[in-house]
Structures are given as C-alpha cells and as structure tokens.
C-alpha cells in the first residue's frame, strides 16, 4: 500500500477550505441580514425617503440636526434611559437572588427553576397582552386584589406617571429568569473547595461567604448579565407596542418604538434610520464603558 505524502500546508489548506464552506451559509445569512442592513441604515440616514418611492432625496445631515433640535427626541432618549435604569438593576438583582435561592435548594428545584424561566420563553407580545389584562383599571386582577385591602383602583397603564413603571415591572418579570440561568451557571462553576477553605479559615456566615467568594467569582456572569440586559433594554419594542403604544402622553415612548413609528407609520425612513444610528452609537458607548468599568474584556 502506497500512500502519497502530503505536505502540512496541503492539509491546512484543505481543511480550512471545508471550514470556509461550512461558514459560508452562516456568513451569507449574517451579511444579508446584519451587515448589509447596518450599512444601509447608515446610508439612508443621509436621505429623505418614504420607503416606497423609487427616488430618494439627499439631505446630508438634516436628519441628524433635525433630531438634535427636536425636544421630542430628547424626551424619548430620556425615556429610554429611564426604562433601562428601572429594568436593568432590578432584573439583575432579582435574577441573582433567584439563582442564589435555587442554587442548593433540593426541594422542587427543577420545578421552580422552570417556573421562573417560563416568562423568558413566552413571546413578549403575548405576555404584554396578558399584562394589559392584569393591569386593567376597571377589571384587572391587580386592582381586584388591591380592592380586597380597600385600596382604590390604580390606573397602571393609563396614568402617565405609572405607565413606565408598569411596563418596567412586566419587563423585569420577563427578563429575570434569563439572568437567573446565567447566574446559576456561574454559581455552579465555582469550585466547592473554596467554601471548604472558608470553614477551615473560620469564615462563617452566608454574607461573608458571598462577599469574599461568590461575588468575585461570579464576575464573568455578572458582566455578561449587565451588558446583555442593558442592550436588550435599549432595544425593547414589543412590550411597548403591545401595552402602551408609547403613551399616555408619550410617557413610555422609547427609541425603538419611535423608530418604528417614524419609519413605518409616517414613512420617514431616512429620519428613522438616523435615530437607529444614534441608538447604535449609544448602545456601543454604554457597552464599551461597561467593559472598561468591569476591568476589560476578560470579564466576559
């Protein structure tokens, strides 16, 4: 049996060819659905275009200047920041609390873990519709329960002061389970031996253990959760669409809803693209800052 001797280079080349071939479909999909649209949005931001017409009018930076001079845009930007501030820390803490609670519990562990994870799997629009019923002023279950304690009905979604809070509550409910799973994975990767060392060194009390061992070793999970929830929060749209349509009096109008409304309701594709670019820059900046604060990329 004779075997042709191949050079190392040949093998390297041929296996990388196969790898490239396998990557090709994924790359094609990503270029068509992610890379191309991203550049197209950047491009469209310089035009006045209704999304339908064959002709577009080049307007330079007009979309961007218009946006920065409109008071509406700043209040929408603030709403997005407020929404993030209301949802991210709460969802982070709740996710961590759930993970710690279910980490070593034996009773009903899997049942409870699944129960808290279910909201993540449910479609946001569907969940939004359910929460609209729960929050209903006249016949919602939340006001029903409150009335048992003689509390007057609260207009959860119809009041401009409470609507943002109500939408945030739903969002926290929806995202905490996801954070819980990430934290659980992080917790399970901490070697038991560290806790045993604690006993030897005389460190007792759950709080001290958490502070000296669990929290520092959970850092990769924490950074991941913080970064992804901030991104998800800035990208939120479905719950606003399903629950408030940005109202009342614009109090829950956040960036992505604004983009949708301008682009698809008012046919202002150029302007909507400009807002999208601003959103992209904003999210990139915030993510960058988060990485910096958490001590570099190795954190994730």
Nearer to another protein, 220 or 248 (CB): 248
How far apart are CB 142 and another protein at their closest, in Å?
Answer: 14
Q: Residues 163, 83: contact at Cβ < 8 Å?
A: no
Buried b (16+ CB within 10 A) or exposed e, 224-251: bbbbbbbbbbbebbbbbbbbbebebeeb
Q: Residues 159, 247: contact at Cβ < 8 Å?
A: no
Structure tokens at 142: 């939340």
Nearer to another protein, 158 or 220 (CB): 158
d(CA 254, CA 239): 11
How far apart are CB 16 and another protein at their closest, in Å?
Answer: 11
DSSP code, position 4: P
Q: Report the alpha-carbon angle 263-265-268, nearest 5.
A: 35
d(CA 156, CA 113): 29
d(CA 152, CA 115): 31
Nearer to another protein, 110 or 138 (CB): 138
Nearer to another protein, 46 or 49 (CB): 49
How far apart are CB 105 and another protein at their closest, in Å?
Answer: 40
Report how far Cα 12 is from the mean position of its chain's Cα atoms: 40
Nearer to another protein, 15 or 65 (CB): 15
How far apart are CB 182 and another protein at their closest, in Å?
Answer: 31
How far apart are CB 126 and another protein at their closest, in Å?
Answer: 14
Q: Long-range pairs for 197-205 at CB < 8 Å and ≥24 separation? A: none
User: What are the phi and psi torsion angles at 48 (to 5°)?
Assistant: -105, 115
Nearer to another protein, 24 or 122 (CB): 24
How far apart are CB 197 and another protein at their closest, in Å?
Answer: 48
Nearer to another protein, 7 or 110 (CB): 7
How far apart are CB 119 and another protein at their closest, in Å?
Answer: 23
Instruction: Using CB under 8 A, list all residues that contact another protein.
Output: 14-15, 17-18, 21-22, 24-25, 28, 50-54, 132, 136-139, 152-153, 157-158, 160, 163, 244-245, 247-250, 261, 263-267, 269
């Amino acid at each position: 049996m004779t075997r042709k001797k191949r050079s190392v280079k040949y093998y390297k080349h041929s296996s990388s060819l196969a790898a490239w071939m396998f990557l090709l479909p994924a790359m094609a999909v990503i270029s068509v659905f992610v890379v191309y649209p991203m550049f197209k949005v950047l491009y469209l931001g310089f035009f006045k275009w209704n999304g339908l017409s064959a002709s577009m009018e080049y307007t330079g930076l007009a979309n961007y200047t218009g946006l920065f001079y409109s008071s509406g845009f700043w209040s929408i930007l603030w709403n997005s920041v407020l929404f993030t501030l209301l949802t991210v820390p709460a969802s982070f803490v709740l996710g961590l609390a759930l993970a710690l609670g279910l980490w070593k519990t034996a009773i009903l562990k899997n049942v409870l873990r699944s129960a808290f994870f279910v909201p993540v799997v449910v479609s946001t629009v569907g969940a939004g519709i359910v929460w609209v019923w729960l929050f209903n002023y006249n016949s919602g279950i939340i006001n029903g329960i409150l009335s048992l304690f003689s509390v007057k009905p609260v207009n959860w979604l119809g009041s401009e002061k409470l609507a943002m809070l109500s939408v945030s509550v739903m969002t926290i409910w929806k995202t905490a389970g996801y954070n819980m799973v990430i934290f659980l994975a992080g917790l399970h990767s901490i070697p038991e031996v560290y806790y045993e060392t604690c006993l030897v060194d005389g460190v007792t009390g759950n709080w001290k253990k958490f502070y000296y061992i669990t929290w520092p070793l959970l850092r990769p999970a924490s950074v991941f959760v913080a970064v992804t929830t901030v991104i998800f929060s800035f990208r939120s749209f479905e719950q606003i669409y399903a629950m408030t349509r940005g109202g009342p009096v614009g109090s829950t109008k956040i960036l992505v809803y604004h983009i949708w409304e301008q682009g698809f309701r008012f046919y202002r594709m150029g302007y909507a693209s400009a807002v999208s670019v601003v959103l992209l820059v904003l999210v990139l900046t915030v993510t960058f800052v988060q990485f910096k604060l958490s001590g570099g990329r190795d954190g994730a």
